[in-house]
Amino acid sequence: MGMRFQIDNACWLGEDAWFHRGTMVIADGRIARLEGRFASDHPLPAGSAAGWRWTPAARRIDAGEGFIVPGLVDAHVHLREPGQAYKEGIANGTAAALKGGVTTVLDMPNNRLPITTAGRFERKRALFARKSRVNYGLFLQAVEGGAKAPETAAGVKIFMAKGSALDAICDAGALERVFRAQDLVVIHAEDEREFFHRVEKSFPQRGKLVHHLRRPRAAVVAALASIETAWRRTPAKQRPRLVIAHCSTVEEIDWVARMKRRGADVWAETCPHYFLFSEKDYLAQGSRLQVNPPLRTGEDRAAIWEAVKNGGIDFVSTDHAPHAPAEKAGRNPPSGIAGIEWLGPILLSLAVRGEISWKRYLELAGRNAARCFGLEGRGGIRKGAWADLAFAEAGEKAAGKAAEKIVTRAAFHPFGHFTFSARIRAVMVDGQVAWVDGRVRRGVHGKEVFQ
């Protein structure tokens, strides 16, 4: 018989997007019982959660004034182990995930060396099994003539712009060959053949901040055209599920909507930086906001934000892409924003303030990613689901202005100007308390989500 854990006075966000108050019982890592006595369309007002007693031995707690949401799913992270653990690593990156309320991560394959073979995939799996503090799944990187992703992979990742030592896959014929061989493909949709390499000469007044000019919108438009051609040429039965990673433009939003109307199995992902920032923020803050795809215009940002609110975007991931601060400050800074530890607080803040509905919150924060990638028992609070839970508090006071300890080795808070209206107080992974008020519980490990 496994462990049992009871939460009294729990206020949880149910599958119906209502908050239910009552008792939650967890057994063997899963939600065994949900006894709601009344429901409301809003969590209770903020208060102190001083009643929480999270001693390791506790088998029963009072949830006090906080509320419980499903642990978030971040379907796009780069934890950089093996190969570049100095930039983050699995143990530290998943500690940052916990701070953000994230209980499942899907890790990208552009490691040094890139994860292109069964052997490298298995070695990386073994590392995650030993080190990950949250549940996880891994991608394989698509290469021309590469093998089908194993059942234990989240899918394959196609980089249409070089993201590792490997060549990009850009033309429609090559895309088609990957499509025919795979079941699920996540695509970085910027065709690198459209990039400019000598923009400094044309834009000297911009100084060094030309990253967004190097990678024009035309690269996205060209990528979408090739993807569509490859999709059309692939026999309907062989077409994989497609995920357009980190949508950053009006064009991607329109394209995904049009493809969905045609019945295509296409999903749209974006990241907080694409609806919170534009190229103006990059020009103001410099290389710390240099990212691929680059931050784009105010109109793009507005279109992404509209799509986050109205359903054009299926889920929000972070594309957590940490680099050492010295690298970011150097002469040829690498691209990437490391935002996983603010994912839950950002999305919760938007819902607490009524900027997105709680139904949309559930979809964006985990439900849709769980459906898209086939994560059994994740992304929602329901009887029988895994007890992946984030314990939150609402209110400007709860969010606080106090200096916070940054967990990621990137050591930079990209969302310092965002007004937080919620924070995460504690996180459970498969029914085990993994993180409380900034402290990681040692010895708690996540599981692989594809088994």
Residues near Zn ion (CB under 5 A) are 319
Minimum distance, C-beta of residue 102 to ligand DOR, in the bound complex (Å): 18
Phi, psi of 341 (to 5 degrees): -75, 0
Q: Is 319 a catalytic residue?
A: yes
Q: Which residue is nearest to Zn ion (CB)?
A: 319
365 binds, among Zn ion, ligand DOR, none (CB under 5 to 8 A by kind): none
- Give dist(CA 433, CA 441) in Å, integer: 7
Catalytic residue among 319, 388, 430, 437: 319
- Give dist(CA 437, CA 53) in Å, integer: 12
Minimum distance, C-beta of residue 256 to ligand DOR, in the bound complex (Å): 18
Q: Which is nearer to ligand DOR, 117 or 335 (CB)?
A: 335
H or E stretch covering 351: helix 343-352
- Give dist(CA 244, CA 269) in Å, integer: 6
- Give dist(CA 388, CA 71) in Å, integer: 5
Minimum distance, C-beta of residue 77 to Zn ion, in the bound complex (Å): 8
Per CB under 6 A, residues contacting ligand DOR are 78, 110, 163, 188, 291-292, 321, 334-336
Minimum distance, C-beta of residue 322 to ligand DOR, in the bound complex (Å): 8
- Which residues pair with residue 158 across a beta bridge? 187
65 binds, among Zn ion, ligand DOR, none (CB under 5 to 8 A by kind): none
Cβ neighbours of residue 32 under 8 Å, at least 6 residues apart?
4, 25, 26, 383
Q: Which is nearer to ligand DOR, 163 or 339 (CB)?
A: 163
Dihedral (CA of 181, 81, 337, 206) sign: negative
Structure token pair of residue 444 = 């708690």
88 binds, among Zn ion, ligand DOR, none (CB under 5 to 8 A by kind): none
Cβ(316)–Cβ(343) below 8 Å = yes
Q: Which is nearer to ligand DOR, 181 or 271 (CB)?
A: 271
- Give dist(CA 311, CA 303) in Å, integer: 12
163 binds, among ligand DOR, Zn ion, none (CB under 5 to 8 A by kind): ligand DOR
Minimum distance, C-beta of residue 321 to ligand DOR, in the bound complex (Å): 4
Angle among Cα 259, 154, 233 to the nearest 5 degrees reads: 35
Collapsing DSSP states into helix, strand and coil, what is residue 184? Answer: strand
Q: Which is nearer to Zn ion, 319 or 363 (CB)?
A: 319
110 binds, among Zn ion, ligand DOR, none (CB under 5 to 8 A by kind): ligand DOR
Q: Which is nearer to Zn ion, 69 or 346 (CB)?
A: 346
- E-strand spans in 278-340? 315-316
Would you name the residues annotated as active-site residues? 319
